[in-house]
Structure formats: structure tokens, C-alpha cells
């Protein structure tokens, strides 16, 4: 939100600078009126606009294969409880107090107008109401009412009424009320007040421009001769306002601007395009990151193929360093886990699969995430980035880069149907696919030299063959990633299917596909048949 506010103010400042330097002195008053109203509205919208053609996606630093993503130990479940009530922070209190004070000031101004109307005499005409105020030189309009002091001569009254009728016919009061309401919400933004002042000037220039040339000298003399008595109300159109008298007289004497100078407004085209480019583009990875990616990919060994696994601090004297490593990773995530507050408020939950590399120096690099929401992904990245430096892993006596993946489950309350299904899968005592001694054998893979690769290939082939995009999801333009987790039981059957995706329509389709998987030869661990947990993402993308 702070970034949005800063971008709005920056856009408004640029628009105002262009107005003051290029447009303010021209006599295209109606064009300038549209400019001020349109640019302020645009400044509120532009930060939200993202043009696909302007996006520059950051290239992937290093893409991990689906096989590596599926080498996952048991998911770590982090439970968060949604807050019962919205937390009140001091910035929120300050904002609301400011809004309240400005709103009260607005109501006071309306009350002053009401009292002024009650003290005067109301005269109704065909296109306006005239309110004569006793013992006053006041002269201003509000909506369809003209407030006029009784001390003016008939000639002066005629000139003032003609001037104020321009304000009424062109609904200038609505322009000022528009900014008056915006002042309540954006009371902290000084540019709202600048915009309103510029618009007030324009209203007077527009009305003065209606004075016939032969009467302009008398009009200027009347402006200078009055002992100004002005109501200090920001959303009325006062005839006499000392701060504007000089500007109005200058504009009355100014020659009409040539139409060719209307081309100045074309400066808005590249300006708006530039702002759209700014709000739409994304930063690209630098060459150093790409160089590091190439180095990682050329020297990568999976965790199960290592001669010596990385040594987590505290595992130096452990008899089973592999088990100690996995345990320490889980302890680290559990210790540093913090359910994002915004995710709690929005009831966002699900599984985030995270993969990272332990490089040849023992440092954590190239963290990548797959999850249902950026809030959860950012929290997992924060946790993984805090992992300590380790003693690097070895293969054939050389230090190597080691990819490692682990799922982190964000779970709310434990009462939703999705959470219950996920818990059922996680409580099945299944061994993760990447840790079992012998993976389940997919029909047709009995004689395969690489049973892992054959299994993964046939799972993907099965999904592609049976995939059907739900028609209702197409009609509603629903797309996204469904993360599926299931168990291959000791009998080789697919059980305990759990999904997490953007919509139930997509989840149901993935479940339908997985239920059609054939019976397999079960996996083995220490020579015994075991249940094996397997996860895979399924992407639904509309062309």
C-alpha cells in the first residue's frame, strides 16, 4: 500500500509539473480542466495497470527437473490460527484520525453554508436560486445557488450573476466537491490541495472568458474596486478572491492561444506509456546470476547419489549423517516457521514445495518455490535463506552442488476438508519417493535400467493422456497449478490422494486422473513392501 501511495504522488507531481510549465499559461481553459481531472484520476489507476506487452520476465536462473522436485522427504506442517479480529496498528489509527478530522472540517463548511442561506433572502429564478445576504459584499456560487451581498449596485449584480451562471451551467462545484472528498481520503497528500487550487483558478478563467471584449475594462475595474469579503470555503466559486485577482486580470488581457499549441497535450502520450512501462516491467537477472547458474548446473549430483552428504552443523559426530541432515533441516524450518499474518487474515493455506542447492562451498543458493500463494512462498524462502553454512557434500572425492527439495505445508485450524484430506495422506506412514530403497514399478518398467526415471516418465505420460480441461473452468477462465500428493500402498494401489490448487474444478480433474492409475508393484525398503508417498504438480493453462 505504501508503494501504491508513493507511486500515485509521484505520478501526480509529474502531471502537475507539466501543467505548470507547459499548459497553465495557455487559454485552453476547458482542455486544462479536463487535463487536471483526468490526470488525477489516472494517477490513482496507473499503479494498478499491468500491460502484458511491456512485461520483461526475469529469465530462470536455473530450472530444476520434475524428477528433482519429486525427491522430497516427509512434508513439514506449519499450523496457523486465523485471527479473530483485525489488528489495529498505529498507522491505521493515524490514517483514520486524519480522515475523521478532514471529514469534520467538510461538514463544518457545509454547516456554514446552511447558516448563510438561512440568514439571507431566497429568490428563485428559472435556472438558479439567488440568496441575498444582508450587510455583506459576499459573492459566490454553490451548485445552483448564487450567494450575493446586498451592497452591490444593479450593474455590478448583473455582471456578477452572469459570471456565476457560467459556474452553475458547467457544474464547476462538482469538480471542487470531487477533490473535497479526495481530501478526506488523501488528507496526507499535499498535491490534492494543489490540484484543487489549480482547478479553482481555471473555473474563474473560464467564467471571465465569457465577458464581452467591450466590457472587460469595466470588469477589471470592478474586481479591483471591491473591499473583498470572501467566504473561506474551498468548494465554492467566489467572485472576489484576492489571491486570484491579479491572475484573472492578466488572463482577461491575454490574447487567445493559437490552436497549434494544443499539440502540447500530446506530451501526455509518451508520459503515460512510460508510466505504464514502469508499472508493468519486471527486473531481469544479471549476468553474474546467469554465470552462477551455469556453474551449478554443470556440477550437480542428487542427494541419493552422494558418497558423503553435506554435514549440517551439529552432525559432525553423528553415526547416520544423512538422517541427521534431514532431521536438522526439519528442525530449522519448524524453529523459524512463522505463518504470515496477511495469509492468516485471508485464510490462505496449502503446500509450498521448495528446492535449493547446497553449493561446493556449503552455502545455500538458487532457492525456488512452488506454492498456492506468494505470501507462503516468500515465508518459505525467508526460512531457507537462514540455513547455516555446511560442510559440502562429496562425490568421487570432489565437492559437488547438491539439489535438495522439501515440502512445507501451511495449515489453518485443521477443520477444512482440504486439510483433512492432506492430513490423511501425511499420516499414512508412507516413505517419500526419494528415500525408498526400491521405488514402485509402473507397468512396463519391469526391465528398465533406471526405475526412477521410468516411473516419473510413465506418470507424466498417464496424466497427459487422460488430461481434460474442465469446460466450466474454461468458461470461468480458471487456471493455475494443482499440487497433488498420493500414496502407492503396499498392495500397489493409489490411495490418500490430496490436492491443493486454485479451484475445486481443477482439483477434481487431477483426482479423476490419478484414480485411473494402474496397480503397480509396490516399493520396497529394507527388503519389505512399503507405502510410498509421491507428489507431482499439474499445470492448467489457457491459451
Residues ≥6 apart with Cβ < 8 Å to 340: 375, 376, 378, 379
Tell me if residue 395 falls in helix, strand or coil: strand
User: What CATH code is assigned to 59-82+286-413?
Assistant: 3.30.2420.10
CATH topology identical between 59-82+286-413 and 426-543: yes
Tell me if residue 499 falls in helix, strand or coil: strand
Contact between 234 and 109 (Cβ < 8 Å): yes
State how far the Cα of 240 lies from the Cα of 135, in Å rounded to an integer. Answer: 16
Tell me if residue 101 falls in helix, strand or coil: helix
The CATH class for the domain spanning 426-543 reads alpha beta
State how far the Cα of 390 lies from the Cα of 364, in Å rounded to an integer. Answer: 9
Map out the domains of the chain as residue ranges: 1-49+255-283, 59-82+286-413, 88-254, 426-543
Q: Please determine, for residue 84, whether its predicted confidence score (pLDDT) is greater than 60.
A: no
Q: Please determine, for residue 121, whether its predicted confidence score (pLDDT) is greater than 70.
A: yes
Residues ≥6 apart with Cβ < 8 Å to 337: 76, 78, 379, 383, 408
Residues ≥6 apart with Cβ < 8 Å to 509: 467, 468, 469, 470, 473, 482, 540
Three-class SS of 441-486: ECCCCCCCCCHHHHHHHHHHHHHHHHCCCCHHHHHCCCCEEEEEEE
State the alpha helices, DSSP H only, in 209-315: 216-225, 242-253, 268-280, 287-297
Average the pLDDT over 205-230 and give the result. Answer: 58
Alpha-carbon radius of gyration of the chain: 35
- Report the pLDDT value the prediction gives residue 19, as an integer from 0 to 100: 84
Percent of the chain with pLDDT over 70: 73
State how far the Cα of 165 lies from the Cα of 101, in Å rounded to an integer. Answer: 33
Residues ≥6 apart with Cβ < 8 Å to 237: 140, 141, 142, 164, 167, 172, 173, 176, 200, 203, 204, 207
Contact between 455 and 442 (Cβ < 8 Å): yes
- Report the pLDDT value the prediction gives residue 521, as an integer from 0 to 100: 93
Q: Which residue has the higher pLDDT, 63 or 542?
A: 542
Sheet holding 532-540, edge to edge: 431-432, 532-540, 480-488, 494-500
pLDDT in tens, 140-179: 888 888 888 887 778 878 878 888 888 888 888 888 888 8
State how far the Cα of 463 lies from the Cα of 534, in Å rounded to an integer. Answer: 14
Pairing between β-strand 129-133 and β-strand 237-238 as defined by DSSP bridges:
unpaired
- Cell numbers 502520450 correspond to 269
Residues ≥6 apart with Cβ < 8 Å to 17: none
pLDDT in tens, 282-335: 444 444 444 444 445 556 787 778 888 899 998 988 888 888 888 888 888 888
- Report the pLDDT value the prediction gives residue 366, as an integer from 0 to 100: 86
Q: Is the dihedral of CA 491, 496, 500, 505 positive or negative?
A: positive
Q: Please determine, for residue 61, whether its predicted confidence score (pLDDT) is greater than 80.
A: no
H/E stretch holding 514 reads helix 504-515
Window from 100-114, 248-262, 415-429, 455-469 with minimum mean pLDDT: 415-429
Q: What phi, psi does 25 have (nearest 5°)?
A: -90, -5
Amino acid at each position: 500500500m505504501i508503494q501504491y501511495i508513493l507511486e500515485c504522488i509521484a505520478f501526480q507531481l509529474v502531471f502537475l509539473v507539466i501543467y505548470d510549465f507547459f499548459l497553465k499559461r495557455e487559454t485552453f481553459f476547458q482542455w486544462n480542466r479536463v487535463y487536471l481531472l483526468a490526470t488525477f484520476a489516472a494517477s490513482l489507476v496507473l499503479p494498478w495497470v499491468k500491460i502484458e506487452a511491456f512485461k520483461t520476465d526475469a529469465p530462470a536462473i536455473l530450472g530444476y527437473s520434475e524428477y528433482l522436485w519429486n525427491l522430497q522427504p516427509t512434508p513439514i506442517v506449519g499450523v496457523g490460527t486465523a485471527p479473530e479480529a483485525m489488528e489495529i496498528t498505529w498507522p491505521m489509527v493515524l490514517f483514520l484520525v486524519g480522515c475523521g478530522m478532514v471529514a469534520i472540517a467538510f461538514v463544518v463548511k457545509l454547516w456554514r453554508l446552511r447558516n448563510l442561506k438561512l440568514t439571507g433572502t431566497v429568490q428563485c429564478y428559472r435556472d438558479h436560486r439567488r440568496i441575498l445576504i444582508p450587510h455583506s459584499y459576499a459573492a459566490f456560487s454553490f451548485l445552483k445557488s448564487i450567494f450575493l451581498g446586498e451592497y452591490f449596485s444593479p450593474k455590478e449584480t448583473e455582471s456578477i450573476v452572469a459570471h456565476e451562471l457560467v459556474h452553475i451551467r458547467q457544474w464547476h462545484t462538482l469538480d471542487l466537491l470531487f477533490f473535497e472528498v479526495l481530501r478526506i481520503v488523501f488528507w496526507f497528500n499535499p498535491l490534492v490541495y494543489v490540484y484543487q487550487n489549480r482547478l479553482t483558478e481555471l473555473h474563474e478563467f473560464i467564467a471571465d472568458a465569457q465577458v464581452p471584449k467591450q466590457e472587460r475594462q469595466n470588469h477589471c475595474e470592478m474586481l479591483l474596486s471591491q473591499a473583498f469579503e470572501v467566504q473561506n470555503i474551498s468548494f465554492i466559486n467566489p467572485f472576489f478572491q484576492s489571491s486570484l485577482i491579479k491572475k484573472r486580470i492578466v488572463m482577461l488581457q491575454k490574447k487567445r492561444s493559437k490552436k497549434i499549441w494544443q499539440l502540447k497535450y500530446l506530451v501526455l502520450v509518451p508520459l503515460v506509456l512510460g508510466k505504464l512501462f514502469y508499472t508493468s516491467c519486471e527486473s531481469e537477472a544479471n549476468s553474474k546470476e546467469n554465470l552462477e547458474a551455469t556453474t551449478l548446473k554443470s556440477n550437480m549430483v542428487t542427494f541419493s547419489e552422494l558418497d558423503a552428504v553435506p554435514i549440517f552443523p551439529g552432525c559432525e559426530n553423528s553415526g547416520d549423517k544423512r538422517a541427521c541432515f534431514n532431521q536438522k533441516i526439519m528442525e530449522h524450518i519448524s524453529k523459524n516457521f512463522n505463518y504470515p499474518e496477511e495469509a492468516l487474515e485471508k485464510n490462505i493455506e496449502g503446500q509450498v514445495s521448495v528446492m535449493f542447492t547446497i553449493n561446493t562451498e556449503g552455502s545455500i543458493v538458487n532457492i525456488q518455490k512452488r506454492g498456492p500463494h506468494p505470501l507462503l512462498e516468500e515465508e518459505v524462502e525467508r526460512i531457507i535463506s537462514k540455513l547455516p553454512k555446511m560442510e559440502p557434500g562429496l562425490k568421487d572425492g570432489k565437492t559437488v552442488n547438491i539439489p535438495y527439495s522439501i515440502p512445507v505445508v501451511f495449515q489453518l485450524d485443521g477443520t477444512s476438508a482440504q486439510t483433512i484430506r492432506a492430513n490423511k495422506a501425511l499420516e499414512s506412514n508412507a516413505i517419500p519417493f526419494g528415500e525408498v530403497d526400491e521405488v514402485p514399478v509402473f507397468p512396463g518398467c519391469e526391465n528398465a535400467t533406471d526405475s526412477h526415471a521410468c516411473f516419473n516418465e510413465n506418470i507424466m505420460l498417464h496424466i497427459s493422456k487422460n488430461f481434460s480441461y474442465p469446460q466450466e473452468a474454461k468458461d470461468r477462465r480458471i487456471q493455475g497449478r494443482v499440487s497433488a500428493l498420493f500414496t502407492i500402498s503396499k498392495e500397489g494401489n493409489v490411495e490418500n490422494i490430496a490436492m491443493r490448487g486454485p479451484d475445486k474444478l481443477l482439483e477434481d480433474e487431477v483426482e479423476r486422473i490419478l484414480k485411473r492409475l494402474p496397480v503397480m508393484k509396490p516399493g520396497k525398503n529394507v527388503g519389505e513392501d512399503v507405502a510410498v508417498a509421491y507428489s507431482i504438480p499439474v499445470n492448467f493453462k489457457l491459451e
